[in-house]
Amino acid sequence: METKTFDVRDIIEDRNALEDKLGEAAEMLKNGGTVAFPTETVYGLGANALDEAAVKKIFEAKGRPSDNPLIVHIAETDQLKELVKEVPEKALRLMDKFWPGPLSIIMEKTALVPDCVTAGLGTAAIRMPENPEAYVLLKLAGCPVAAPSANLSGKPSPTKPEHVLHDLTGRVNGIVLGRTCDVGIESTVIDMSTEPPVILRPGIITKEDIEAVIGTVKIAGRKTDQQSVPKAPGMKYTHYAPNAPMILFDSDPAEMTAEILKRAADELAQGKKVGIIATDETRGLYETQLAPGLRPNTCILSTGSRGDLMTVAHNIFHILRRFDEEKVDIILSESFEAEGIGFSIMNRMDKAADEIK
C-alpha cells in the first residue's frame, strides 16, 4: 500500500495552513481509509468510527487483537449524541474540566457505534484530543474517528513522527507528520458506566485530579510485589515491549543504582551490549563507574530528573525505542515511586518489563 505523508511540522500554529494541508488526509478518513495523526498524548491511527470496514483496517495495520476496544475521538461535544446513550452528570463535569485533553471517558454506546470498535462491549471510550493538528483533521473529516496508538501491536506507543513512519509505512493510507507529543503516555481511561467510576488506565490526569472534580473513584493497584516476578512468556507481546529483555529494578534509588551497576558489569563481562534507563541524577554515576574500556558497549539514557515526572512521562516511550535502534542485548531500568504521575509511568514500565526485581 502506498502511504502518503502530510508534513505539518512548520505550520502547527496556523489553523488556515493546517486546513489546506490536511484536507486530503481528512478525505481519506471520510472515504474509509486509515490515517495516523499526532495527539497531545501519543500518535493515533485513525479511521471513521462509524464505518465497520474502515475500523477493521486499523486492526489489520497494527496486528491488533480484535478483542481490544478502540477509543473514539471527537472534535466537538455535539458529536456525543450519536455515540453514547446518555452522558452521566459526573462525566459532564470531567469533560468541563479536562476536555479537550488526555482523558478518555467510557459511557454506554448507541447502536450506531459498530461492535468492532468496542470489541462487542456495550460501552465506548470517547476522547477529545487537544492539539491543533488533531482538531483540524477531526473537524474536516466530520466523523468520529476510532484511533488506537499508531504503533505495531506490542511495541511502545509512538511519540514522534519517525516512530510512526517506522511502524506503519506501507500499512496505512496516510501519516500526518507533526510535533513530538507533549504528554508522551496515553490518555487516562475512566469507566463512567459504573458507580463508583473506575480508572482502567492511569495517565497524566491522575486519580487525585479526578477525585477533586467528582469525588471517590476506584483504581487497580500495581500488579507487582517487591519480589522478583517474571512474567509469563505469552504475556510479553502484549505491551510496549522493546526488542531486548528489560529488567526493572524496583527498590529505593540508592539500592537500585547499585544493583544496576552490578548487573551491568556482569552483562558487559559476558560481551553483552547493555542499555540503562537512568535519571539525570544517576547518569553520570553509571558513566564513570562502568569501566571506560567497556563504555562503547553501553547505552545510558536518562528519562529526566526524578523531580520532574512530566518530563519522564514525555521521554519514556522514545527511550524504549532508542534501545531497539542501538541493538542492545539487555535493558536495565530504574523505577519511580508509584504515586501521582509516577503511578502512571510505572504502569507502562511494569508492562514493558520482562522481570521486576
> Where on the chain is the footprint of ligand TXA (CB under 6 A)?
39, 41-42, 44, 68-71, 102, 104, 106, 118, 121, 123-125, 127, 129, 147-149, 186-187, 189, 200-201
Name the binder of 174 from Mg ion, ligand TXA, none, CB < 5-8 A by kind. none
Q: Which is nearer to ligand TXA, 181 or 277 (CB)?
A: 181
Minimum CB distance to Mg ion smaller for 123 or for 149: 149
Task: Tell me how far apart the alpha carbons of residues 86 and 31 are, in angstroms, rounded to a whole number.
Answer: 29
From ligand TXA, Mg ion, none, interface partner of 201 (C-beta below 5 to 8 A by class): ligand TXA
CA-to-CA dists, residue 62 to 36, 71, 132, 147, 179, angstroms = 11, 15, 25, 11, 22
Sheet holding 355-356, edge to edge: 298-302, 274-278, 330-333, 246-248, 355-356
Cβ 85 to ligand TXA shortest distance, Å:
13
Angle between helices 341-352 and 309-326 (to 10 degrees): 20
List the single partner that 127 binds among Mg ion, ligand TXA, none, CB under 5 to 8 Å by kind. ligand TXA
Q: Which of 149, 298, 315, 347 binds Mg ion (CB under 5 A)?
A: 149
CB nearer Mg ion, residue 228 or residue 238: 238
The minimum distance between CB 183 and ligand TXA, in angstroms, equals 8
Hunting for cell 460501552 — which residue is that?
123
| Least distance to ligand TXA, CB of residue 37, Å | 8
Return the one option of Mg ion, ligand TXA, none that residue 165 interacts with (CB less than 5 to 8 A, by type): none
* Phi and psi angles of residue 285, each rounded to the nearest 5 degrees, phi first: -60, -50
Interacting partner of 71 out of Mg ion, ligand TXA, none (Cβ under 5 to 8 A depending on kind): ligand TXA
How far is residue 180's CA from residue 162's CA, in Å, rounded to a whole number?
9
What is the Cα–Cα distance from 19 to 22, expressed in whole angstroms? 5
Residue nearest to Mg ion (CB): 149
Could you tell me how many residues of this chain bind Mg ion (CB under 5 A)?
A: 1
Backbone angles phi, psi at 163, to 5 degrees: -65, -40
11 or 124: CB nearest ligand TXA: 124
Pick from 171, 188, 230: which is nearest to 94 by CA?
Answer: 188
- Residue 124 or 345: the one with the smaller Cβ distance to ligand TXA is 124
174-203 positions binding Mg ion, by CB under 5 A? none
Q: Which is nearer to ligand TXA, 301 or 352 (CB)?
A: 352
d(CA 110, CA 129): 21
User: Cβ closer to Mg ion: 45 or 205?
Assistant: 45
Instruction: Note whether 78 and 140 are within 8 A (CB).
Output: no
What are the residues binding Mg ion (CB under 5 A)? 149
